[in-house]
A and B are shown apart, each in its own frame.
Chain A
């Protein structure tokens, strides 16, 4: 692969060893129990996988975005939900702290976060809709030297396991419908009185992501826990969301590869009338060829986009395209993989149908592909794509 420099290959080899020996053996159990993969998350921190793009001075590797993509792709081949937890921690919460935080805040939170010593979550989405910020109801009011938060968040990953929540709240009279000014970000430690944690949702896919709700009832935090400028966190949110959407490309690629590898191996091993399914049926061969083609097309899109990102481009439209295209490809490949397994493909213990469930959530989680298409269209119209 053109993007695999010697240094990236060495990192990929190490991550592959982690995935093969530690992640893959636990994938079915995590999917079955819906337990947050805490031990694996901590191991990811020990190995340096939680701060790949974080500057070295704040405990990270200071590596490029493409290296991060390689890591997410490889882990997603075995356990996509681990990348979801990592992304919420590193890209959403960590991204906001990196962009908005003071040096002291970065040292306080990014250093232990990169090592996996603390887990972070980002609370933005509300019941009115994730991108409907003008109707957000969670408010923060300054009372003396404390901010007082009231309101609630839904569908937040890493709830219950997080040590720190980066929470977006309305701080102005209203959120400007055009500029979206009026939103601020806050650092809310777990255990703060008034912070309520809902039980994890029982979802179609991403089992183990600890996705749940947050509530704030006169939740008081110190004044200095404001993250970044008052009323002005939305631009940083847009950029951190772009990073998260970008990461959906390699994660979807990994999901597709994981399902494809299982289907290919099964088609070569399963025999009927003395022949493998692969050799006996043209339809099997053609399905696999098309799945392979879709995967390689997505790979080309993912790594060319990441190369642009590493050249300093924000990739606002391309980042969203990776999530859109990634969701399409991963869902298609996983669906066809189940089809190639036949009846046993629908059996949970076979381990292939979970890829489809995880792929399906990729089309919605974080932002639906429909909402993202609309953003892309807006960027096209403004000649920003």
Chain B
């Protein structure tokens, strides 16, 4: 049976992050974790594609032990099987490491005709992993996809390029990164959630994939993560007649470069 693989990331819910008011350090300790948003769209697109192709849909993630909790979710969303490549160092991995780990598992699965990824992860939004997986596998990659179809051994996609749409085709196997526009990610029904408990979820140690040390060595290191917040100038222009205040407002905006 051919396989479609959806790569996803288990991330902290961004609306539950806390920001230290002084240092602006990001505190994830009280945040719940979730499947990254675009990845949910990718799973649904993969589910539809796999159903059309009579393929098995495998949901694949690379993460530390905590990411095991994601498997019931992706199985409820329509994956037939979930595979978690486990690494204690996944939290400090960059796109290079992540792509090598995912690509190695895609090879290990075999018979994969398409790999889908979200366009970017909800936490880092680096847009790296999909193209890097394609590079490691030596497969074509189509990014920014909003429409997707497979006919025979060819993949047809419509990409968003700035304000334009570009229709492209490529041979399978291929890697595709999708936008939210590829289709909504429906909330699974509770019957699917319960059924997910009966589907297979596997853990594979990253060391078992036979990767070279270089593949597991991050090329970039995150040195600091701080929240971004706009500074308010707190200027009140309340002197003079309305026309004078408008002039003062225009002047102040011009000085700051806003106008």
**CB–CB B191/A10 < 8 A:** no
Instruction: Check A370 for interface membership: any CB of B closer than 8 A.
Output: no
The docked-state distance in angstroms from the alpha carbon of A277 to that of B76 is 42
> CB-CB < 8 A to B76: which residues of A?
10, 14
Bound CA–CA A61/B192 (angstroms):
10
Partner of B189, one of A21, A22, A47, A63: A47
State which of B150-158, B167-175, B193-201 sits at the interface with chain A: B193-201
* Chain A nearest Cβ from B204, distance in angstroms: 20
A14 to B107 Cα, complex, angstroms:
32
CA distance A21 to B32 in the complex (A): 16
Residues of chain A with a CB closer than 8 A to B72's CB: 6, 10
Determine the chain B residues whose CB is within 8 A of the CB of A47 once the complex forms. Answer: 187-190
Determine whether B73 belongs to the interface, using a CB cutoff of 8 Å to chain A. yes
How far is the CB of B231 from the nearest CB of chain A, in Å? 15
Docked complex Cα distance between A63 and B191 (Å)? 10
The proximity string for B residues 181-221 relative to A, scoring 1 for CB distances below 8 Å and 0 otherwise, is: 00000011111011011000000000000000000000000
Interface readout for A28-69 with B: 1 if CB under 8 Å, 0 if not? Answer: 000000000000000000111100100000000101000000
Specify which chain A residues have a CB less than 8 angstroms from the CB of B187 in the assembled complex: 14, 17-18, 21-22, 47
When the two chains form their complex, are residues B193 and A14 in contact, meaning their CB atoms are under 8 A apart? Answer: yes
Is B189's CB under 8 angstroms from A10's CB?
no
Say yes or no: is A312 at the interface (Cβ < 8 Å to chain B): no
For the complex, give the distance between the alpha carbons of A49 and B187 in Å.
12
With A10-B72, A10-B76 known as contacts, the answer to whether A48 contacts B191 (CB < 8 A) is yes
Contact status A61-B194, CB under 8 Å: yes
| Docked-complex contact A46 and B193, CB < 8 angstroms | no
CA distance A47 to B72 in the complex (A): 16
A11 contacts which chain B residues (CB < 8 A)?
Answer: 190, 193-194
The SS class assigned to the B binding surface is: helix
Q: Which residues of A contact B197 (CB under 8 A)?
A: 6-7, 10
In the complex, A296 has a CB within 8 A of chain B:
no
CB neighbours of A13 from chain B (8 A): 32, 34, 73
- Contact residue range for chain B? 10 to 19
6 residue pairs bridging A and B, Cβ less than 8 Å apart: A10-B72, A13-B73, A21-B187, A46-B189, A61-B190, A63-B190
A18: nearest chain-B partner, CB-CB: B187
Residues 73-128 (chain B) with a chain A CB within 8 angstroms: 73, 76
CB neighbours of A7 from chain B (8 A): 194, 197
- List the 10 closest pairs (A to B, CB-CB), nearest first: A48-B190, A10-B72, A48-B189, A47-B189, A17-B187, A14-B193, A10-B193, A48-B191, A18-B187, A11-B193
B193 to chain A: which residues have CB within 8 Å?
10-11, 14
A47 to B76, CA, bound (A): 12
| CB atoms of A14 and B188 under 8 A apart | yes
The contact string, 1 if C-beta is below 8 Å from chain B, for chain A 203-246, is 00000000000000000000000000000000000000000000
Q: Mark A103-131, 1 if CB is under 8 A from B, else 0.
A: 00000000000000000000000000000
Closest chain B residue, CB of each to CB of A71: B190
Given A11-B190, A14-B193, A61-B190: 6 more A-B contacts, CB < 8 Å: A6-B197, A11-B193, A13-B32, A47-B187, A61-B194, A63-B194
The residues in B between 123 and 182 inclusive whose CB is less than 8 angstroms from any CB of A are: none
In the bound complex, residues from chain B placing their C-beta under 8 Å from that of A14 are: 76, 187-188, 190, 193
Task: Specify the chain A residue showing the minimal Cβ separation from B197.
Answer: A7
Instruction: Determine the chain B residues whose CB is within 8 A of the CB of A63 once the complex forms.
Output: 190, 194
Shortest Cβ distance from B252 into chain A, in angstroms? Answer: 24
Residues of B within 8 A of A10 (CB): 72-73, 76, 193, 196-197
Residues of B within 8 Å of A49, CB to CB, are 190
CA distance A21 to B34 in the complex (A): 14
Interface centre among B73, B187, B189, B196 (most CB of A within 10 A): B187
Alpha-carbon gap, A21 to B185, bound state (A): 12
**What is the 8 Å Cβ interface bit string for chain A, positions 5-26, against chain B (1 contact, 0 not)?**
0110011011011100110000
In the complex, the chain B residue whose C-beta lies closest to that of A279 is B21
Nearest-CB distance from A90 to chain B (Å)? Answer: 13
CA A148 – CA B32 in complex, angstroms? 56
Task: From B72, B191, B193, B197, name the one whose CB has the most chain A CB atoms within 10 angstroms.
Answer: B193
| Residues in chain B near residue A6, CB distance under 8 A | 72, 197
Distance to closest chain B CB from A345 (angstroms): 23
Contacts of B196 in A (CB 8 A): 10
CB neighbours (8 Å) of A16 from chain B are 32
CA distance A11 to B189 in the complex (A): 9
A46 vs B191: C-alpha distance when bound (angstroms): 10
B194 cross-chain contacts in A, Cβ below 8 A: 7, 11, 61, 63
Q: Which residue on A lies nearest to B15, using beta carbons?
A: A20
Q: How far is the CA of A162 from the CA of B191 in the complex (A)?
A: 25
Quick one: closest B residue to A67, CB to CB? B190
The interface residues of chain A lying within 8 Å CB-to-CB of B34 are 13
Contacting pair B73 A52 (CB below 8 A): no
Contacts of A17 in B (CB 8 A): 187
- For A61, the chain B residues whose CB sits under 8 A away are 190-191, 194
Report A-chain residues with C-beta under 8 Å of the C-beta of B73.
10, 13
A337 to B126, CA, bound (A): 41
How close is A74's CB to chain B, nearest CB, in angstroms?
12
Complex interface residues of chain B between 32 and 71 (CB less than 8 A to chain A): 32, 34
A6→B73 CA distance, assembly (Å): 11
Question: How far is the CB of A143 from the nearest CB of chain B, in Å?
Answer: 43
A82, B73: Cα distance in complex, Å: 25
In Å, the complex CA distance between A7 and B198 comes to 11
